Structure 1
């Protein structure tokens, strides 16, 4: 990654200070058409409420929150590693809400966030990762280039922000 962008894990003592910036990224992505569990129009209150729940999960050590920041401290992207799993799956983690602001795309940020997520999962003792993404979207290619294995597609699984149905592709990755 270039020297202008850093990817780092947010600690429990600082995560709440990032809620507004993370809300900006989420709103931007949803307004740009990303199917990431939210519908248009997405309100700021909805985005802040979501990130407040995520922050609480970080504080409870249920999830790892990574951010990509510019040299001037602006949040450009984020991804989560959900490490709190059922007792029969202590080796597994879910990758969630991999988001990059539209103005920051095509700079390798998503690739670096995913690599950092792999490293964070390994450090947390996880060896199997799973995620899902919109079928046919740019993220599918990103995940395949990063070594993820496609499991399959569920047609009409979710809604795009504009209300149209979309398929969802599921992936897994076995960490070495």
Structure 2
């Protein structure tokens, strides 16, 4: 297995940039939807009679969905990280084969990160749908407590900020991988 120094030297800027773009894109999806909710809150008018029972039920579903998805996200990420194999080359979507161990590691780590972020984003988008429904039926103006359904969006942004891939962070992840795989 290559050393951390060899990892850093053989890691391409393109590979790091690809991971960064994916992180930004997943965060922007939730942020843009949040922007729509904010716009509707300040510029929209309530179309219907507030149905607080439905919103409360959706909030309970959000809590259960969130706990389940967050647990699954962490479990799947750890499992995928533990099962990374540098011995097997990776096929890219354009048919190229990656044999460089640094690039193989980043490609497999990226897959684990995408799944983790997608699960977090799913919860965030569901919470934002609750916010949007609350705004559209006038409930948000009457009970601002329903803004709490937007908190999963904050979790996505925090996760992206804390795990945003840089060459240094990827090297640290690789070092952790080396330690756990007796490298």
TM-score by length of 1: 0.22
TM-score by length of 2: 0.22
Name the structure where helix makes up a greater proportion of residues: 2
Larger RCO, structure (CA 8 Å, separation 6 or more):
2
Q: Which has the larger radius of gyration?
A: 2
